[in-house]
Chains A and B, each alone.
Chain A
Amino acid sequence: ETGVTQSPTHLIKTRGQQVTLRCSSQSGHNTVSWYQQALGQGPQFIFQYYREEENGRGNFPPRFSGLQFPNYSSELNVNALELDDSALYLCASSPETGGAFFGQGTRLTVV
């Protein structure tokens, strides 16, 4: 039990639609990060928020966006979904001492 919860656990969307994934981080962890894990691959960093501001971004297009809220929850939004967006999306919260605690992930399937 990591204290990080994600919703929903599974989701099916149609190409071109928009999706919002949600994460509730551990209390006191000011950093939240989102990762995309394609089938058979390691997680790839999408972006990171620290105290509600984005402070790092991986190689993902602007249609991937996010928000972090004061209550340690966060969102990942993806617009204009493409088939290649099908993946497991992982949320992680980090203490100041480093490392990350991951949620169970949201499995997104784009058809």
Chain B
Amino acid sequence: AQSVTQLDSQVPVFEEAPVELRCNYSSSVSVYLFWYVQYPNQGLQLLLKYLSGSTLVKGINGFEAEFNKSQTSFHLRKPSVHISDTAEYFCAVTAWSGNTPLVFGKGTRLSVIA
């Protein structure tokens, strides 16, 4: 079974500052990793995913994440945030074996302050 820990429930940051949202996972098998964003009263939008290959993954809206197998981490970063980045961010993991469901962390609330 897989599990995900998002180490920060809330992250306040000033506009144009950099941000890192932390995610650690646990799994006995190889995994795929994802970051999703959820704006108020909406569903989940895929930001980026790691399936294989380069450990640095670039996504939409200027976000990127780095897969670190030895530290079982998949932290999300953005060099300069905007007010519009204020949202809930979820890290998720699924096993390589086919058709396994996503296991989500509890989410990190990113608040960008003007």
Interface string of A78-111 (1 = CB under 8 A from B): 0000000000001010101111111111010000
Interface string of B26-42 (1 = CB under 8 A from A): 00000010101000011
Q: Which of A2, A31, A99, A107 contacts B34 (CB 8 A)?
A: A99
Q: By the criterion CB–CB under 8 Å, are A90 and B44 in contact?
A: yes
Q: By the criterion CB–CB under 8 Å, are B43 and A105 in contact?
A: yes
Q: By the criterion CB–CB under 8 Å, are A102 and B44 in contact?
A: yes
Complex: A101 Cα to B107 Cα, angstroms: 18
Q: By the criterion CB–CB under 8 Å, are A98 and B101 in contact?
A: no
Interface string of A50-63 (1 = CB under 8 A from B): 10000110100000
Q: Which of A41, A94, A105 contacts B107 (CB 8 A)?
A: A41
Q: Using a CB-CB cutoff of 8 Å, which residues 45-101 of chain B contact chain A?
A: 45-46, 49, 51, 90, 94, 98-101
Residues of chain B within 8 A (CB-CB) of A96 are 98
Residues of chain A within 8 A (CB-CB) of B101 are 33, 45, 48, 56, 58
Q: Using a CB-CB cutoff of 8 Å, which residues 56-75 of chain A contact chain B?
A: 56, 58
| Interface-centre pick from B32, B34, B43, B46 (highest chain A CB count, 10 A) | B43
Q: By the criterion CB–CB under 8 Å, are A100 and B102 in contact?
A: yes
Min CB distance A81 to B, Å, is: 22
Q: By the criterion CB–CB under 8 Å, are B99 and A104 in contact?
A: no
Residues of chain B within 8 A (CB-CB) of A2 are 43, 45-46
Q: By the criterion CB–CB under 8 Å, are A104 and B42 in contact?
A: yes
Residues of chain A within 8 A (CB-CB) of B51 are 97-99
Q: By the criterion CB–CB under 8 Å, are A43 and B44 in contact?
A: yes
Q: By the criterion CB–CB under 8 Å, are A41 and B106 in contact?
A: yes
Q: 6 tightest A-B contacts by CB?
A: A42-B104, A102-B44, A45-B101, A102-B43, A104-B43, A105-B43
Residue pairs across A and B with Cβ atoms less than 8 A apart, 6 shown, are A35-B104, A43-B102, A94-B99, A98-B94, A100-B46, A107-B41
